[in-house]
Structure 1
Amino acid sequence: MSDIVSTLINDNLVALQPYESARRLFAGGQDWLNANESPYANEYSVDSSRFNRYPSCQPAEVVNAYAQYAGVSNNELIVTRGADEGIELLIRTFCTPGQDNILICPPTYGMYAISAQTCNVGVKHAPLNADFSLDVASICATGEVNLVFICAPNNPTGTTVDADDLDRIVRHFSDTALVVVDEAYIEFDKQNSWADKLADYPNLVILRTLSKAFALAGLRCGFTLANAPVIAALMKVIAPYPLAEPVAQIAAQALNAEGKAKIELQVDFINRQKQWLKNTIAALPGFDITGDTRANFVLFRYAQSPALMAYLVEHGMLIRDQSKQLNLQHCLRVTVGNEAQNQRLIALIKAFVQTTGASA
């Protein structure tokens, strides 16, 4: 680090480790089954006649379409650059740097903690139980926090959240904190959405995205759903032009009737392929399915996970090593790909086991 950087960098960033994505860790790959992306790449069109103008801060066609899709009012929604910007906006809006804290429930999505740390906001932990359910008592016993982040379905465990547990938590923090339920994978677990409960819980916030089921990870389009006063506060700190014009146009097309019908069919295919992957991996000697499969990935534990991961990378198959996460030693997470990718993954795993004799 240069002298000028060492002198000027924020103290809270010196020890910060950035989010580790395969795009940063690996130069290339033939099959990317590491980031929970959709295997589909749908076609869209854009009108370039408006590219010379700054875009709308909150494009009406996107706000209206997603509000209808999620079953909320227009003033209960804000469009962001991916759900990640929603996380950062919540922290910047409702936490004072150097004073306030958020609460996370590891193992969970890494950006909650990283976003807090970049803003010099403290991070408290209430680890999940051994079965990856919420430790409600520990969460409620945590000292003062302004935001509670709960991923449901949870990444990387694929587990859902018990409705009674979440009710207890939201009510416990009714006067002290916002409870943020990250529903990035909710299209794969639709019956457990909390988007229709905003009227019952003034401190409830929902995060959504088009990155997963809608197959638009490259678009960076997310949504924060909350009661109107929360949305109004977020609007104070959001950038003036958060959503690029091409992004708004494509998002609106994805959310029309034809787009939503297509996504339902694709989610159905992914769920069927997910079940096949789960069953096939579970049948392999020494492999244990870990957590649940309520999202678009399968998490499994294998004693020789480092060697298997290296073998897959060598053969251009990239999945995600979750071994650094709490209670996920020797765990690997694989995104459900297309049929050919899924079959190639299994073939490579079987070849590794056969070649090395590493069944346990």
Structure 2
Amino acid sequence: MTEFNLDSILRNNVKKLVPYSSARSEFEGDAQIFLDANENSLGSTLGNNFHRYPDPLQKQLKQKLCAIKNVPVENIFVGNGSDEAIDLLIRAFCNPGIDNILIFPPTYGMYEVSAEINDIAINKVLLTNSYQLDIKAIKEGIDNNTKIIFVCSPNNPTGNLLNTASIEWLLKNFNGIVVVDEAYIDFTGTQSWSQRLNEFPNLVVLQTLSKAWGLAGLRIGFAYSSKEIIHVFNKIKPPYNISEATQQLALQALQNEQKAKEKTNVLVQQRERLLEEFKQFDFITTIYPSDANFILVKVDDAKKLYQYLIAKTIVVRNRSSQPLCENSLRITVGTPGENDVLITTLKNYK
């Protein structure tokens, strides 16, 4: 196993950085009068204590996450969606114009976008035809300036879990950060990589409340990693990256874990239903297995079918421009009623 050295890959300017010190981070304890942060002492027009800056480290939210996810508080970073964590990782570990990241298309597009924004090169190794990691090609795709590998599992847009042994190989043989993006993990019934943080000091696991918890509008995501990597996140993040309203609503949502599980179960049942229903349509040439809340299908004419569904006020995603996804549509699992309409509409397609 390759020995991982965090200090050797952290950017020098980040090592030297003195983080912004906010009023709320300097004082801890009980007080009756707060005159330290230039807030509006007369209060908010909305009430709810919104005139005060939020907890910069989201301590209550992390404590609840700790109980639900079985991850210690010190191993949790809370971000403005998983996208913030992706961006912070690239900014912390990749030197602009010098370093690169490695991704496996077809995959989630924000890895590439964040790298381009930060002037970081992108090495790409295509998944295999069965949408799994190609270890032989990956060995050739890694160079001395590769600092981060992004793995999306279940993968977007293909929907499948990536092979555990292949991810283990990356973690054991790559002397950089390996990010496992688990946005759709709650639809799988498999163990999260967050339960293996102690095994791999270079592992970062991303999750979100956007999918199974149904909170896409709040923009809140998490990174789980070693205390040392979480310290880097907290060092370079904006001081108040999660608003008070978002923290309150997320905490309320996390009190309803059973409700989230019930909704997830319904979506999984409907996913299996759609996987079966799609078999009746000759114009669907391949139905890819899914561990997520969506299904990727290959059809005889993706553009034509996409436009037909649009005309029927049903919006799906045409992924044909992505590598290995020619003539492919990504279809989110809808409500039972929405899925009824989708199936009926597909039956009338000619």
- TM range, normalised to the smaller chain? 0.7 to 0.9
Q: Where does residue 140 of structure 1 map in the other structure?
A: 139
Q: Where does residue 270 of structure 2 map in the other structure?
A: 273
SS in 2 for 1:146: strand
- Residue from 239, 261, 264 that aligns with 1:264: 261
Q: Where does residue 189 of structure 1 map in the other structure?
A: 188
What amino acid is the match of 1:164? Answer: A
Q: Where does residue 109 of structure 1 map in the other structure?
A: 108
Q: Is the 8 A contact 1:213 1:263 kept in 2?
A: yes
In structure 1, C-alpha distance between the alignment counterparts of 2:241 and 2:286, rounded to whole Å: 39
Q: Where does residue 255 of structure 1 map in the other structure?
A: 254
Q: Where does residue 335 of structure 2 map in the other structure?
A: 338
In structure 1, C-alpha distance between the alignment counterparts of 2:194 and 2:83, rounded to whole Å: 18
State the Cα deviation string for residues 77-124 of structure 1 (Å, max 9, x = none).
110000111111111111111111000000000110001000101100
Task: Between the two structures, name the one with larger relative contact order (CA 8 Å, sep ≥ 6).
Answer: 1
The answer to whether residue 326 in structure 2 is matched with residue 329 in structure 1 is yes
State the Cα deviation string for residues 315-359 of structure 1 (Å, max 9, x = none).
211110000110100000110110111111122222222xxxxxx
In structure 2, C-alpha distance between the alignment counterparts of 1:162 and 1:214, rounded to whole Å: 25
Calculate percent identity across the aligned residue pairs: 35
Q: Where does residue 160 of structure 1 map in the other structure?
A: 161
SS in 2 for 1:300: strand
Shift of 1:277: 0.9
- Residue from 279, 288, 291 that aligns with 2:288: 291
**Aligned 1:1-360 pairs, distance under 5 A:** 48-141=47-140, 142-144=142-144, 145-173=146-174, 176-256=175-255, 259-353=256-350
Shift of 1:195: 0.8
What amino acid is the match of 2:250? Answer: A
Q: Where does residue 26 of structure 1 map in the other structure?
A: none
Is 146-155 or 239-248 further displaced after alignment? 239-248
- The count of aligned residue pairs is 303
Q: Is the 8 A contact 1:157 1:299 kept in 2?
A: yes
Structure 2: gaps of 5 or more residues: 1-45
Tell me the TM-score normalized by structure 1: 0.82
In structure 1, C-alpha distance between the alignment counterparts of 2:194 and 2:323, rounded to whole Å: 29
Tell me how large the CA RMSD over aligned residues is: 1.2
Q: Is the 8 A contact 2:132 2:162 kept in 1?
A: yes
Structure 2 CA distance for partners of 1:48 and 1:60, relative to 1, 3 Å: farther
Structure 1: gaps of 5 or more residues: 1-46, 354-360
What amino acid is the match of 2:315? Answer: L
Q: Is the 8 A contact 2:278 2:287 kept in 1?
A: no
SS in 2 for 1:317: coil
Q: Which has the larger radius of gyration?
A: 2
